């Protein structure tokens, strides 16, 4: 397999692995191009928590969660809010993905050896209306082994095919041009980069040592999104919906998530839709021990931390921790600043704080129950959280509120937080704790969360007064905007075929994963329900690989 194959897959992330495995299973010869080194096989998925969106799963039923395809579709459509003519295929892909999530997805993955943590997480709880944004029930299934556990069966399949000569893995090969012959895809050309010994995720060099040109009847682009290229993020930023793009953001993805292949595929005739739809988190921390440039880590919060904008005003419902990501982003930026604050207690951080990412959850990543029990049942917060509390530049820990406010203002480099105003808001909330009911929407949400067994066991602290010294020390966390996912992208149909400006498929050209908005050119619409990024890579990669094989 020198320079000719049946198919070329551009990108060695999750979607590319799935597509390549499906092609090779069908007996096709595949060349996989990846601009990073071999230790980066798997791409962004490696760094993920491994959450997958299943509907009416055995894990849900064991947790007494009643879910259904109809409820999941209601939640998806209420969140997506499809409203554009070009949303035809994104909507079709979304409907098909719901069917997949409620049907074949889990047993297919289970048969390949994948397993899941028994407590189902309740992410992105929504904007307060049944027909609006958010998950009505917990659906976030953390894969046993986190992101590496999701990758494991597909890496195994690809490496087995590589050993048998059906897949050629070409690392440090950077695609720069898609080749067309008589209107159909016929290959990929680009540069060979110098070898690199950097660790996975670290910034590698771009020195060119040669070039290449490979030929095939099908090309599948699976190169990821734009989250590592903040200039592209700001160019596509939806100012009309979210407000002005932040000047400072932390990067939730490695530098090589650069969006290069979007423009390259456009140059070959592929259409891009929904560029302005994107997914960035509001709970970003500057990593005290970074792997890639400007490395940020997201807090996965429970519902109890009090959330304040940069001016010290408490965020109103539904802008509560874990409820409405993009609505909260818009609310934070409306204050004229790019950061916000959590104020909480040691009791809350111990029970409710988790950090996103495989490397921040070594117990779950290890697949060893003894490590999980040691970490989650320890006296303090999980070790990775305590490390951020001790070393992270965004944390302030004090024994009383006056000192906490002073520390917050020093950290922010201003005097925007007024002690008396902050005290009044927290004290008002604390008075609501005396009863098992409340007019405070967040207190009501806490009581509601604890009615779900999973939240009561591992994710929601018992309601208590923030200002009571017995619950201290007090903790303030400065939260940054963290770039993450591209919700729009290359326009595809359900089979993953890239469409041209006329809406017709370009013969031999496919796209899958984040570069295609996880399917269709943006199957999330405006909002994601979580667990749907990895799932979208698997679903779209499988569809593209199987159709290209035919």
Q: Which of 201, 208, 148 is nearest to 172 (CA)?
A: 208
In this predicted model, what pLDDT tens digit does every residue of 238-249 receive, in sequence order? 999 999 999 999
Q: Give the pLDDT score at 397.
A: 98
Q: What percentage of the chain has pLDDT greater than the value 90?
A: 96
- Give the model's confidence band at 1: pLDDT under 50 very low, under 70 low, under 90 confident, else very high: very low
The secondary structure element, H or E, covering residue 343 is strand 339-345
CB 437 within 8 A of CB 448: no
Percent of the chain past pLDDT 70, that is, above it, reads 99
Residue 128: pLDDT band (50, 70, 90) is confident
The 10s digit of each residue's pLDDT in 198-247 is: 999 999 999 999 999 999 999 999 999 999 999 999 999 999 999 999 99
* pLDDT at position 7 over 90: yes
Tokens representing 224 are: 């990821």
Question: Are 471 and 477 in contact, with CB atoms under 8 Å apart?
Answer: no
Q: Model confidence over 138-190: pLDDT tens digits?
A: 999 999 999 999 999 999 999 999 999 999 999 999 999 999 999 999 999 99
pLDDT 10s digits, 446-473: 999 999 999 999 899 999 999 999 999 9
At 373 the pLDDT is 81
Taking 90 as the threshold, does the pLDDT of residue 256 lie above it? yes
The total of other beta-carbon atoms located within 10 Å of residue 373's CB is 11
β-strands 173-181, 218-221: how paired?
Answer: unpaired
Go through 112-135 and write b for each residue having 16 or more CB atoms within 10 A of its CB, e for each that does not: eebebbebbbbbbbbbeeeebbbb
Q: Give just the sign of the alpha carbon dihedral 530, 531, 533, 535.
A: negative
Q: Is the pLDDT of residue 378 over 80?
A: no
Q: What pLDDT, on the 0 to 100 scale, is given for residue 393?
A: 97
Question: Tokens in use for 352?
Answer: 């409710």
Q: 47: which DSSP letter?
A: G
Asked if 514 and 225 touch (Cβ cutoff 8 Å), the reply is: yes
The H or E element spanning position 100 is helix 88-102
* The pLDDT of residue 127 is above 90: no
Report the distance separating Cα 457 and Cα 455, nearest Å.
5
Backbone phi, psi, residue 419, to 5°: -60, -50
Label residue 259 left, alpha or beta by phi (over 0 means left) and psi (-120 to 50 means alpha): left
Average pLDDT of the segment spanning 39-43: 96
Residue 302 banded pLDDT, cuts 50, 70, 90? very high
Q: If 0-12 CB within 10 Å is exposed, 13-18 middle and 19+ buried, where does residue 336 land?
A: exposed
The pLDDT of residue 427 is 98
How far is the C-alpha of 138 from the C-alpha of 143, rounded, in Å? 15
Q: Are 465 and 61 in contact (CB under 8 A)?
A: no
Closest CA to 138 of 550, 474, 531: 531
Tell me what the mean pLDDT of segment 474-496 comes to: 98
CB–CB of 489/517 below 8 Å? Answer: yes
């Amino acid at each position: 397999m020198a320079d000719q194959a049946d198919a070329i897959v551009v990108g060695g992330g999750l979607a590319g692995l799935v597509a390549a495995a499906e092609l090779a299973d069908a007996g096709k010869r595949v060349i996989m191009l990846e601009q990073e080194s071999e230790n980066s096989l798997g791409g962004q998925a490696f760094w993920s928590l491994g959450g997958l969106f299943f509907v009416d799963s055995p894990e849900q039923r064991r947790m007494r969660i009643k879910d259904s395809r109809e409820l999941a579709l209601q939640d998806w459509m209420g969140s997506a809010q499809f409203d554009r003519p070009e949303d035809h295929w994104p909507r079709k892909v979304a409907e098909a993905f719901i069917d997949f999530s409620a049907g074949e997805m889990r047993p297919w993955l289970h048969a390949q050896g994948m397993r899941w943590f028994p407590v189902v997480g309740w992410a992105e709880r929504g904007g307060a209306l049944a027909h609006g944004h958010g998950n009505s029930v917990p659906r976030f299934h953390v894969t046993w082994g986190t992101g590496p556990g999701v990758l494991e069966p597909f890496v195994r399949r690809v490496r087995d095919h590589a050993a048998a000569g059906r897949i050629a893995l070409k690392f440090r090969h950077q695609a720069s041009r898609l080749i067309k012959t008589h209107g159909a895809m016929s290959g990929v050309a680009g540069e060979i980069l110098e070898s690199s010994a950097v660790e996975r995720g670290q910034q590698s060099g771009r020195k060119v040592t040669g070039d290449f040109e490979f030929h095939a009847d099908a090309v599948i682009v699976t190169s990821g999104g734009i989250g590592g290229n903040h200039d592209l993020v700001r160019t596509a930023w939806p100012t009309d919906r979210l407000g002005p793009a932040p000047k400072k953001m932390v990067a939730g993805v490695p530098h090589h998530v650069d969006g290069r292949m979007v423009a390259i595929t456009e140059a070959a005739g592929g259409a891009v839709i929904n560029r302005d739809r994107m997914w960035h988190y509001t709970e970003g921390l500057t990593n005290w021990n970074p792997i890639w440039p400007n490395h940020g880590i997201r807090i996965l919060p429970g519902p109890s931390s009090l959330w304040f904008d940069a001016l010290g005003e408490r965020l109103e419902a539904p802008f509560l921790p874990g409820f409405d990501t993009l609505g909260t982003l818009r609310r934070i930026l409306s204050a004229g600043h790019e950061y916000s604050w959590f104020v909480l207690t040691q009791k809350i951080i111990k029970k409710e704080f988790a950090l996103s990412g495989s490397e921040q959850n070594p117990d779950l990543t290890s697949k060893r129950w003894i490590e999980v029990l040691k970490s989650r049942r320890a006296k303090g917060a999980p070790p990775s959280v305590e490390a951020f509390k001790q070393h992270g530049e965004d944390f302030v820990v004090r024994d009383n509120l006056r000192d906490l406010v002073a520390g917050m203002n020093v950290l922010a480099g201003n005097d925007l937080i007024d002690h008396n105003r902050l005290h009044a808001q927290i004290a008002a909330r604390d008075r609501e704790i005396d009863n098992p009911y409340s007019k405070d929407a967040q207190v009501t949400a806490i009581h509601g969360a604890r009615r779900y067994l999973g939240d009561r066991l591992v994710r929601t602290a018992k309601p208590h007064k923030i200002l009571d010294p017995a619950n201290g020390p007090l903790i303030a966390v400065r939260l940054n905007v963290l770039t993450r996912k591209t919700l729009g992208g290359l326009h595809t149909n359900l089979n993953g075929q890239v469409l041209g400006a006329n809406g017709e498929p370009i013969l031999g050209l496919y796209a899958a994963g984040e570069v295609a908005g996880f399917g269709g050119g943006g199957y999330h619409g405006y909002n994601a329900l979580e667990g749907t990024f990895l799932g979208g890579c698997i679903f779209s990669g499988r569809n593209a690989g199987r159709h290209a094989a035919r």
